[in-house]
Amino acid sequence: MAGLKIRRVLVAGNWKMYKGPAETRAFLATFEPPDGVEVVLCPPYVSLTAAVESGLSVFAQNVHWAQEGAFTGEVSAAMLVELGVQGALVGHSERRQYFGETDETVARRVVAALGAGLRVIACVGESEEEREAGQTELILRLQAEAVRDAVGEHERLVIAYEPVWAIGTGKTATAEQAQEAHAFVKSLLDRPVLYGGSVKPENAAELLGEPDVDGALVGGASLDPGSFAAICRAAVR
Ligand code: PGA
């Protein structure tokens, strides 16, 4: 992958709606990331500045598609750039499930973020019902192609495969399930693919040992500096 700006293994901590600025600074006071892996923090908007001060790579958890305008509650890519934020998550399943995010709005957000010079982690993944109905590849195809058709194999784009049934449930995809889904996504869109869904220090090495697992997107286990550092160490190659 010539020209790839992102080191091959990337571990991102998605804090969701946890940790204001004070808790962010407390986390950073004890968090010791290892060398040899790129670590990204995705705190809530209000904690972005506190996280940027640490010198680590910081991504927002979402980004709007317009440069500015009457969009109450939204934040633009240019505003994130101004804060020193390097990228954004887009299309997390919680955005899709609770906030009406669609493949179309995901694509618009990805276009705007990349256009502003940000990096993007675009999330895809099937629900439990979809997996049981044998629709995993169909859903991954729809979601990944929406992004591919909008921006192609952009060098600042990374995909996260997050099976919805594994997020926050303690149920992790097996390494084989993850590998199979990652290889499928890469057959549609040749970009690095992170695995997300109940990644913990105990299962990180096995998941990250698969050839097409290029890193991890970690929710719950990224909230504790010790467990997040242990996952980052498991990703060192
Ligand atoms: P989890 O969340 O690690 O708590 O399952 C992952 C995510 O939602 O990104």
Active site residue 53: no
137 is catalytic: no
Query: Within the chain, what is the greatest distance between any pair of CA atoms?
Result: 46
Instruction: Please work out whether the CB of residue 76 comes within 6 Å of at least one atom of ligand 1.
Output: no
Residue 58 burial class via C-beta count within 10 angstroms: exposed 0-12, middle 13-18, buried 19 and up: buried
Tell me which residue has its CA closest to atom 2 in ligand 1.
Answer: 219
Q: Confirm if 210 and 233 have CB atoms less than 8 A apart.
A: no
Going by alpha carbons, the residue nearest to atom 1 of ligand 1 is 219
pLDDT digits (tens, 9 = 90+) for 15-44: 999 999 999 999 999 999 999 999 999 999
Q: What is the pLDDT of residues 177-204, one digit of tens each?
A: 999 999 999 999 999 999 999 999 999 9
Q: What is the DSSP letter of 157?
A: E
| Token duo for residue 202 | 């105990």
Nearest-angstrom CA–CA distance, 62 and 54: 21
Beta strands in the chain (DSSP E): 10-14, 38-42, 57-60, 87-90, 119-124, 157-161, 193-196, 215-218
Contact 144, 185 (CB under 8 A): yes
Model confidence pLDDT, tens digit, residues 130-179: 999 999 999 999 999 999 999 999 999 999 999 999 988 888 899 999 99
pLDDT in tens, 60-95: 999 999 999 999 999 999 999 999 999 999 999 999
In this predicted structure, what is the pLDDT of residue 6?
A: 45
Quickly tell me which residue has 């286990």 as its tokens.
Answer: 221
* Spatial separation of the C-alpha atoms in residues 48 and 36, rounded to whole Å: 24
